[in-house]
Amino acid sequence: MSDPRPPPPPKPFIRATPAGDDRERLICGDCGFVLYDNPKLVVGSVARWGDKILMCRRAIEPRKGFWTLPAGYLELHESTQAGAEREAWEEARAKIAIEGLLAIYDITRLSQVQLIYRARLLDPNVSPGPESIDVALFGWDQIPWDDIAFPSVRWALAHEKEAQAGGDLAPRFTPADPGAPPADPAAPQGL
C-alpha cells in the first residue's frame, strides 16, 4: 500500500566545502550533488576589412549605445572559433574568417574569460543584427574612443594594432594594470 502523504520537499542547496575541495560550493542537501559554478567564456573578434575594423553599437544593456567588438557568450557544444563567427553574424551580419587568437583576457571581477580572435571580413557589407543599433568599419583614427563600451575592447584594439605593426602574432593577455588605458589609444597611426 502506498503512503498517502506527499514526499517531503527537497532540501535546498547549501554552501559548504565538499570533501577533497578547497572552497565553498553549492551542494544539494538531498543527494550531495556539487554545483561547480565556473567562469563564463566570452568569444569575439577584431574583424578587419583592409585597414578598417568592424565595430558594433550596442542595442542592449549593459552599455547600450556604446561601441564594442562583435563578441558574446559561448554556447554549449560550440567551439570558440565557431562562437566568434556566430557572434559576428548575430551582431553585424558579418561573415568572417578566423586568422588566429589575438588575446585571452581574465575579467575576474565578472568571472569571465574572454577569447578574442584576429579575423578577416569576407565581405564588407555588414548591417546591424538584433543586438546592435549600428555597425561600422572604422579606420584607427575614426574609432569612437570616447564611446567604447568595455575596457577589454580597448585592450583588444591596442593589441591588434601592436600585432599588426610589429608582426608578432603571439596571443596577448590581460594588461598588468587592467584599469590603465592602453598607451595612447587614439594616436592617429596606421594599423
Residues 6 or more apart whose Cβ sits within 8 Å of residue 51 = 139, 140, 190, 191
Domain presence at residue 81 = yes
Whole-angstrom distance, CA of residue 138 vs CA of residue 48? 9
Cell of 140: 584607427
Do residues 31 and 51 share a domain?
no
pTM of structure: 0.84
Q: Could you report the per-residue pLDDT of 36-73, keeping only the tens digit for each?
A: 889 999 999 999 999 999 999 999 999 999 999 999 99
Q: Could you report the per-residue pLDDT of 128-185, keeping only the tens digit for each?
A: 999 999 999 999 999 999 999 999 999 999 999 999 999 999 999 999 887 766 655 4
pLDDT reported for residue 8: 73
Do residues 29 and 95 share a domain?
no
Number of domains in the chain: 2
Cell of 93: 551580419
Do residues 113 and 166 share a domain?
yes
Residue 190 pLDDT greater than 50, yes or no: no
Provide the 10 A C-beta neighbour count for residue 86.
16
* DSSP helix/strand/coil, 93: coil
Whole-angstrom distance, CA of residue 121 vs CA of residue 52? 10
> What's the domain range around 67?
40-173
